[in-house]
């Protein structure tokens, strides 16, 4: 599963947190967040996608690419 980089950035901006603060609140390594944001081919683990969605307060389907 691939997270849409733009949706992630918008979600982090809406949270009012820095990327570092967001990674801590999501329970996801800052390196992983950076890879998602900067490497279009990076696909995080499913549990990571779930943690990010939960931290953003959205359903997983709202942040992943290719879901209708």
Res. 47: pLDDT tops 90: yes
Per-residue pLDDT averaged across 60-64, rounded? Answer: 95
Q: Is residue 53 part of a domain?
A: yes
Q: Does 26 fall in a domain? A: yes
Residue 27 pLDDT greater than 80, yes or no = yes
Instruction: Give the domain extent around 30.
Output: 5-62
Domain count, the chain: 1
Residues 5-24: pLDDT tens digits? 999 999 999 999 999 999 99
Buried-exposed string 47-66: b where 16+ CB fall within 10 A, e elsewhere: ebbebbbebbeeebeebbee
Percentage of the chain beyond pLDDT 90 is: 91
Q: Is residue 68 part of a domain?
A: no
2, pLDDT greater than 80? yes
Residue 43 lies in a domain: yes
Residue 67 lies in a domain: no
CATH code, 44: 1.10.260.40
């Amino acid at each position: 599963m691939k997270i849409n980089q733009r949706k992630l950035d918008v979600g982090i901006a809406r949270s009012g947190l820095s990327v570092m603060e967001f990674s801590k609140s999501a329970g996801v390594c800052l390196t992983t967040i950076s890879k998602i944001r900067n490497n279009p081919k990076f696909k995080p683990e499913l549990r990571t996608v779930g943690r990010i969605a939960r931290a953003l307060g959205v359903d997983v389907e709202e942040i992943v690419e290719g879901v209708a």
